[in-house]
Amino acid sequence: MMPSTYHALHRENNGKRRLIIAAGVQAAVAIRHETGNLRSP
């Protein structure tokens, strides 16, 4: 396997992982806001 191909795949995987982590954080914050709104009168 060519090193350039390996680096390109590695970079793409890192980008996808970053997007997934960002989406997870946003979902957690949204859920926290929803539960907070439900708890407050």
For the segment 1-41, what is each residue's pLDDT rounded down to a tens digit?
567 888 888 899 999 999 999 999 999 999 988 888 777 66
Question: CA 18, CA 12: separation in Å to the nearest integer?
Answer: 10
The confidence score (pLDDT) of residue 20 equals 95
8 backbone φψ class: left, alpha, beta (φ>0; ψ -120 to 50): alpha
Q: How many Cβ atoms are within 10 Å of 25's Cβ, its own excluded?
A: 10
The confidence score (pLDDT) of residue 33 equals 86
Angle (CA) 7-12-15 rounded to 5° is 125
Q: What is the DSSP string of 1-41?
A: --HHHHHHHHHHHHHHHHHHHHHHHHHHHHHHHHHHHHH--
The confidence score (pLDDT) of residue 1 equals 55
